[in-house]
Amino acid sequence: MTPPAATSDHLHHLLREMLRIRRFEEKCAELYSSGQIRGFLHLYIGEEAVAVGVMPALGPEDAVVATYREHGHALARGIGANALMAEMFGKQEGCSRGRGGSMHVFDIGARFYGGNAIVAGGLPLAVGLALADRYLGRPRVTACFFGDGAVAEGEFHEALNLAALWRLPVLFICENNLYAMGTRIERALADTDIAARARSYGMDAEAVDGMDVLAVEEASRRLVAAVRDGGGPRFLEARTYRFRAHSMFDAELYRTKAEVEAWKKRDPIDLLRQRAGLGEAEWAALDAAVTDEVAEAVAFAEAGTWEPVEHLTRDVYTPPGGPS
C-alpha cells in the first residue's frame, strides 16, 4: 500500500481518530465513577497513536487481535462507538452482546478477534489466524497487539518462534508503555531491548516513537506490505506511555508524577495537532463533533437492554444450524 501523502485531510483524519478514543475513554472513566461501567477498565489514553497509526495499514480482510486495553483499537478499526459503549455497559446491544465487557470486545465483521485478558494469550491465536490464511491461500495479514508485559510470557516466545519458523503473515505490535501493570520493564526483563528479542527469532523488527502517529503509520505500512508480500512476520515495538492508571484500582505507587508529566508533554494528540496546524476554531469544531459522538454512544448504551437471564447458557456451544 502506498502511503498517502501527509495531506491536511489525512492528518485531520488521524487527529480525529485519536481524539475519538481520548474523549470516549474520558467518558468511560466518568461512567466508571458513577457505576454505569463496572468490572475492570483499562484506559488507552496516551497510547492512541499506536492503534491509530497501525490501522490505516490494514485492509478490511485483515485480522486484528488485541488485549484487554483495546477500546482504542476497536474504535480505530471501525467498530462503532455505540456498540462499543453498549458493550462497556454490558447491554445486549454491545458488540459482544454485553457478555465480554471492556476487556472482551469482538466484532467478526471487522475481523476483530478480541479483547483478550490473558497477557500474551492472543499471540498464538494470531499465529493460527495467519496459519489458516496461508493454508487456505488468502493474502491476508493478522495484526497482533500486546504490551511489554507479554514479552516475559512463554506464549510470546512460542508464538514468535512459530510465526518465524513458518514465515506466517503476522505483524506483531508491542505497545511498550514501560510498565507491566506496576512493574517497570527493567524489573521484568533481563534485556529491555524488545525488538532485539524479536530479531533473535529471525524476523525483522524495529522500534518506533509510539507518540508520533505518522511515524507509526509509516512503519506499519512498510511492515504490513513486507508481510503481505510473503516475507514472513514483522515486529514493531512502539514506545509509548500510559497517561492514566493501569486500571481504575491503581494508586500509581510505582511511578512519579514528574515522569507522567514529562510524557504528557509528548501527548500524541497535541503533537499531531501542532503538526497539522489546527487553529482554535477548527480544534473546537472537531472536539465538539467527537464529544457529540460520544454523548450519542452513551445515550445509545443507556437506552440499551439487558440480555434476558433465560439466555444465560446460550452460545456456550454452537446451536444446531451452525454459527450464528
Partner 1 sequence: MSGTRRTTYREAVRGAIRDALRRDPRVFLMGEDVGHYGGAYAVSKGLLAEFGPERIRDTPLSESGFVGAGIGAALGGARPIVEVMTVNFSLLALDQIVNTAATFRHMSGGQVSVPVVIRMATGAGRQLAAQHAHSLEGWLAHVPGLRVVVPATLADARGMLWTALADPDPVLIFEHQTLYNMEGELSVDAGPVDLDRAVVRREGSDVTLVTYGACLYKTLAAADTLAAAQVSAEVIDLRSLRPLDTSTILSSVRKTHRVVVIDEGWRSGGLSAEILARVAESAFYDLDAPVARVCSAEVPIPYPQHLEEAAVPQPAAIVAAALSLMPAAETR
Lookup result for grid cell 507491566: 180
**Nearest CA among 242, 247, 246, 237 for reference residue 259:** 242
What's CA 276's distance to the chain center, in Å? 24
Q: Counting contacts by CB under 8 A, is residue 158 touching partner 1?
A: yes
Sign of CA dihedral 303, 304, 308, 312: negative
C-beta closer to partner 1: residue 116 or 177: 116
Out of 15, 31, 50, 63, name the contact with partner 1 by CB under 8 A. 63
Task: Give the separation between CA 285 and CA 264, rounded to whole angstroms.
Answer: 23
Q: Counting contacts by CB under 8 A, is residue 12 touching partner 1?
A: no
**Nearest CA among 27, 55, 35, 21 for reference residue 220:** 55
Q: Counting contacts by CB under 8 A, is residue 309 touching partner 1?
A: no
Residues 31-60 that bind partner 1 (CB under 8 A): none
Out of 123, 150, 195, 227, name the contact with partner 1 by CB under 8 A. 123
Q: Are 89 and 139 in contact (CB under 8 A)?
A: no
Quickly count: other Cβ atoms within 10 Å of residue 257's Cβ: 8
Q: Counting contacts by CB under 8 A, is residue 324 touching partner 1?
A: yes
Task: Give the separation between CA 150 and CA 260, rounded to whole angstroms.
Answer: 22
C-beta closer to partner 1: residue 154 or 308: 154
Q: How many residues bind to partner 1 according to rule CB under 8 A?
A: 47
C-beta closer to partner 1: residue 117 or 178: 117
CB of 288 to partner 1, least distance (A): 33
Three-state DSSP at 174 gives strand
Amino acid at 108: I
CB of 216 to partner 1, least distance (A): 25
Which among 93-101, 171-179, 227-235, 251-259 is the span making contact with partner 1, rule CB under 8 A?
93-101
Out of 47, 107, 212, 237, name the contact with partner 1 by CB under 8 A. 107
Quickly count: other Cβ atoms within 10 Å of residue 226's Cβ: 17
CB of 83 to partner 1, least distance (A): 10
Q: Counting contacts by CB under 8 A, is residue 165 touching partner 1?
A: yes
Q: Are 36 and 89 in contact (CB under 8 A)?
A: yes
Out of 36, 161, 192, 291, name the contact with partner 1 by CB under 8 A. 161
**Nearest CA among 211, 210, 212, 236 for reference residue 223:** 236
C-beta closer to partner 1: residue 58 or 178: 58
Residues that bind partner 1 (CB under 8 A): 63, 92, 94-100, 104, 106-108, 113-114, 116, 118, 121, 123-133, 135-136, 154-155, 157-159, 161-162, 165, 314-318, 322-324
